[in-house]
Amino acid sequence: MLTYTVRRLLLAIPTLIAISLIIFLLLDLAPSDPTANLPLTIPPEVREKIRQSLGLGEPIYIRYLLWCKQFFVNEPLNMLEQWFGWDIGGDRLRVLSWQTRSPVVDLIVQRMPQTLWVVGMSYVVGVLIALPIGIISAYRQYSWFDQAGTFISMVGFSVPTFFTGVLVIVIFSVWLGWFPSIYDTTHRVTDWQSFLFQVRQMIMPVAVLALFNAAQISRFMRASMLDNLNQDYVRTARAKGMGERTVVLIHVLRNSLIPVVTVIALGVPQIFGGAIITEQVFKVNGLGQLLIISIQGGDLPTVQTLTFIFAVLIIVFNLVADVLYGILDPRIRYD
């Protein structure tokens, strides 16, 4: 397992380099102008000087190599200095946002807690809800519970999150007045009352995203359980006198989780970029909103960095899923 993990990590290096090049070229060649949002009264020669100050006068390969140096070398060194208090020295140019002139990594770190609080929590809640629903629906196939679970899953997966988000705002915020309609990103938890307010403002966005995530995962869990419940090893275990709980929750569930792990692991990177619409609906100042603002403002360094980080997360959690295969199924050997 260790040899396989190291080999996959080494293989990921050229993969990430190729992905970074593709992302940089696609965004750089896109018809986007960072000076488009500036007032029309600015003379063309001043606009050109602004473009030159942003480094757009250099050839594209020079800008790509400079971005690689800033992201892969300068930013890790700066993080080491901040975390461990080291003084590595040197004047390092960081990846700067064209809109705020602030380091992009600092902007991501500032908005990361909001995304983890809301979108990350919704994914955890969705998984915790989906797994038991899928297991019970498969074990009691065609029962009223299975029919209700199938109906709710189809609704949750078919209806877009921007519709359910607006719907819950109208019902629970406007009509009933139970929860705030806008997420207060400046709120800080200092006592019990502030904690309760944090929970109240998280309930609606977490519920909307948890419904969408649970709908998909529960269907995969149900299908995988149904496929394993009819296998020969299940009939053999029952014939040997094993208890039904042991057969279902140990033997069948363990084998059924293998394909579901892929769905869950590859869905984790989506919590950082896949909830863009929901963050816009509830005004959550997270990574999704940062990406939208950067795209609208033509802030290429921020868009490139965020997109590349999403790609890194996909590769990392793909490796995590492969490692979990070996843990769930002892027959799988990578070495």
* Residue 249: predicted pLDDT: 80
Quick check: 40 pLDDT over 60? yes
Q: Which amino acid is at 280?
A: Q
199/333: higher pLDDT: 199
Mean pLDDT, residues 241-249: 79
Quick check: 19 pLDDT over 70? yes
Q: Where are the alpha helices (DSSP H) in the chain?
A: 2-29, 44-53, 60-69, 75-84, 104-115, 121-139, 144-158, 161-168, 192-229, 232-239, 244-246, 253-267, 270-273, 276-282, 287-296, 300-328
* Residue 192: predicted pLDDT: 83
For residues 254 and 135, the answer to whether their CB atoms sit within 8 Å is: no
* Residue 333: predicted pLDDT: 61
Sign of CA dihedral 273, 23, 290, 194: positive
The CA-atom distances, in angstroms, between 263 and each of 66, 127, 245, 253, 285 are: 36, 10, 25, 16, 27
Question: According to the per-residue pLDDT averaged within each range, which of 42-51, 139-148, 273-282 is highest?
Answer: 139-148
Rounded CA separation 124/271 (Å): 10
Quick check: 31 pLDDT over 60? yes
Mean pLDDT over the full length of the chain: 79
- Full DSSP string of 194-259: HHHHHHHHHHHHHHHHHHHHHHHHHHHHHHHHHHHHTSHHHHHHHHTT--HHHIIIIIIHHHHHHH
* Residue 328: predicted pLDDT: 67
User: Residues 217-241: pLDDT tens digits?
Assistant: 888 888 888 888 878 887 887 888 7
* Residue 313: predicted pLDDT: 83
* Residue 39: predicted pLDDT: 66
* Residue 62: predicted pLDDT: 82
* Residue 89: predicted pLDDT: 64
For residues 150 and 137, the answer to whether their CB atoms sit within 8 Å is: yes
Rounded CA separation 268/274 (Å): 10
Residue 96: helix, strand or coil by DSSP?
strand
Rounded CA separation 254/135 (Å): 11
Mean pLDDT, residues 270-285: 71
Mean pLDDT, residues 278-295: 78
42/169: higher pLDDT: 169
Instruction: Work out the pLDDT band at 187, boundaries 50, 70, 90.
Output: confident
Quick check: 88 pLDDT over 80? no
User: Residues 93-117: pLDDT tens digits?
Assistant: 777 787 777 888 888 888 887 777 7
Write down the pTM of the prediction: 0.77
Quick check: 274 pLDDT over 60? no
